[in-house]
Amino acid sequence: MTIELRPVDRACPSCGADAPRDLGLGRSPWTIGACSPCGFAYLTAAASYSDLSDYYSWDKAILIEAKRRKSAQPLVQWLDQKTRWRLHLFPRPETRTFLEALVPGGKVVDIGCGSGKQGLALPDDYTPFGVEISRTLAEQAHAAFAERGGACQHAPSAGGLGKFEADTFDGAMLNSYLEYEAEPLPVLRALHRVLKPTGVAVVKVPNFASWNAAVMKRNWCGIRLPDHVNYFTPDSLREMAESAGFTVEFPKLTNLPTNDNFWAFLRPAAQA
């Protein structure tokens, strides 16, 4: 069954201006623009939350995108599949392992948790919670998290976080999530409210400043239309996170320009 997506026009999710410059990286009818005032790169229209909930969550979109890439770049995709072993030649950074090093235990919220795989992989010292827009995946995560004393909210992320008390969580994971979120700044502000003053959020997003993004342009692996709606660089993520009340730190020797992803550690800024 083909689903007719209902795109919702967007202003810049970082500064709110509505003056994008077409970067020429999109694919009809989707346009990736750069905000004229602040430079943030984003999809100028996105699928509605209701479509994401029932029809076009990432677990469905990833299958659609894989089929499209196989058709558009058969040789490249064949080589990629045949050489997946290269990804295991060296230890790879992971959001979960960064969190374990920074947060000794306690309650952790996984935003965009999917079926709960990341949260369930945490040791028993952690109680996993989650927020997930996909109805099916949220139900799976809730059942799994409940067995460890946690829960998962099925809701858009800002609203789902709003159902938790302030200063609830010792840590948070945003693992390959913010690039999908149509309203990332309200989500970060909602996260700031529920994260303890000593808490840490670990963020992983595709690196729009990577060398591969510059070379591959619209064929870059980080461009996924229409589900990747934000295109972060370390500078643009820092700017957005700081406006939500966080300080931002980047792990050393990880965020290289050769890496298609980057990580950031967000901590609530000290109140003046």
**Has residue 87 got a pLDDT over 50?**
no
Residue 174, phi then psi, degrees to nearest 5: -125, 80
Domain stops at, among 25, 54, 85:
85
Residues 121 and 65 in one domain: no
How far does CA 154 lie from the centroid of its chain?
A: 17
Which pLDDT band, with edges at 50, 70 and 90, does 238 fall under? Answer: very high
**Boundary of a domain, candidates 85, 111, 132:** 85
Q: Calculate what percentage of the chain has a pLDDT beyond 70.
A: 82
Residue 227: the pLDDT is 86
The Cβ of residue 270 has, within 10 Å, a number of other Cβ atoms equal to 7
Residue at a domain's end among 57, 85, 113? 85
Task: Tell me which residue range forms the domain holding 65.
Answer: 7-85
Same domain, 131 and 15: no
Query: Which tens digit of pLDDT belongs to each residue from 134-175?
Result: 899 999 999 999 999 999 999 999 999 999 999 999 999 999
| Structure-token pair, residue 58 | 């990432």
Lowest mean pLDDT among 27-31, 55-59, 98-102: 55-59
Q: Where are the alpha helices (DSSP H) in the chain?
A: 49-54, 58-72, 74-82, 95-102, 117-120, 135-146, 157-161, 184-194, 211-216, 234-243
- Does some domain include residue 152? yes
* pLDDT, tens only, 4-26: 667 889 999 999 999 999 999 99
Q: How far apart are CA 49 and CA 41, in angstroms?
A: 20
- Report d(CA 108, CA 126) in Å as an integer: 7
Residue 1 within any structural domain of the chain: no
Average pLDDT taken over every residue of the chain: 88
- Is 112 within a domain? yes
Stated pTM of the model: 0.86
How many domains, in total, are found in the chain?
A: 2
pLDDT band at 193 (very low <50, low <70, confident <90, very high): very high
- Joined tokens for residue 254: 């990880």
